[in-house]
């Protein structure tokens, strides 16, 4: 090996070493932090993000960008609906940006099984709202933002496979503006209770 090749190899090794330590902590330590946070989250959301209680949303298969945005909003208290305040403000307070990104990526890649088919009568009410909206009441089609199969994209959440009761509760919170989101407030404002109930069941079954 030539003497000129040695400095070049050292430079590459140094560059790789700096990249690995860019956060100032070894990769194994960062992974241990993520694992610890996942374990903490699992007490409510389940270890794979498939929670049992409808009080706690399913995180498995959710869009990573959406999960990250919600965790930031919990941490900075900009999401202030009742459950956010009760459960998530404290839980997110200790998370730094790296931890948030790690958790979002972890839950986004967890598999989500198929939902249970919706009641036929409720599906008949919900499916036209999902695909076409209600023009007479300025209710847009859910499909326009959330996708053909309600899978979401980027900062727009996946709705398919979410707990029925959780979806219904969020629509009510958007409608009352207790969960502040201008777009969703306008979208939910003119939905009736039976329509919210039907949509929640339909989406949970996708």
pLDDT digits (tens, 9 = 90+) for 82-116: 999 999 999 999 999 999 999 999 999 999 987 77
Residue 67's Cβ-side half-sphere holds a number of Cα atoms within 13 Å equal to 24
pLDDT of residue 7 exceeding 80, the answer is: no
Task: Delineate the domains of the chain, giving CATH numbers in brackets.
Answer: 26-108 (1.10.760.10), 120-204 (1.10.760.10)
- The confidence score (pLDDT) of residue 25 equals 63
Angle at 72 between CA 159 and CA 182, to 5 degrees: 55
Band the pLDDT of 180: cuts 50, 70, 90: very high
pTM of the model: 0.84
pLDDT at 21: 42
- For the chain, percent of residues with pLDDT exceeding 90: 78
Is residue 15 predicted with pLDDT exceeding 50? no
196 CB-near residues (< 8 Å, 6+ apart):
168, 171, 172, 175, 188
Predicted confidence (pLDDT) per residue in 18-58, tens digit: 334 445 566 775 777 778 889 999 999 999 999 999 999 99
d(CA 53, CA 197): 18
Distance CA 139, CA 130 (A): 10
Give pLDDT, residue 35.
82
Angle (nearest 5°) at CA 167 between 164 and 169: 110
pLDDT confidence bin for 205, thresholds 50/70/90: very high
* CB neighbour list of residue 110: distance below 8 Å, 6 or more residues apart: 48, 49, 50, 59, 60, 61
With a cut of 90, say whether residue 167 has pLDDT above it: yes
Question: Cα separation of 82 and 88, whole Å?
Answer: 10
């Amino acid at each position: 090996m030539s003497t000129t090749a040695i400095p070049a190899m050292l430079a590459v090794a140094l560059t790789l070493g700096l990249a690995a330590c860019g956060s100032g902590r070894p990769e194994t330590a960062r992974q241990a932090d993520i694992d610890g946070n996942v374990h903490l989250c699992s007490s409510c959301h389940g270890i794979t993000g498939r929670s049992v209680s409808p009080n706690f949303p399913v995180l498995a298969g959710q869009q990573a960008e959406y999960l990250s945005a919600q965790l930031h909003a919990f941490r900075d208290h900009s999401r202030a609906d009742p459950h956010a305040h009760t459960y998530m403000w404290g839980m997110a307070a200790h998370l730094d940006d790296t931890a948030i990104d790690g958790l979002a990526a972890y839950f986004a890649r967890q598999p989500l099984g198929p939902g249970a088919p919706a009641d036929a009568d409720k599906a008949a009410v919900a499916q036209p709202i999902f695909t076409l909206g209600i023009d007479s009441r300025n209710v847009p089609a859910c499909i326009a933002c959330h996708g053909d199969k309600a899978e979401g994209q980027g900062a727009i959440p996946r709705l398919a496979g979410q707990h029925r009761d959780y979806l219904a509760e969020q629509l009510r919170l958007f409608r009352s503006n207790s969960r502040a989101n201008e777009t969703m407030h306008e979208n939910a404002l003119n939905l009736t209770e039976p329509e919210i109930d039907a949509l929640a069941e339909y989406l949970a079954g996708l």
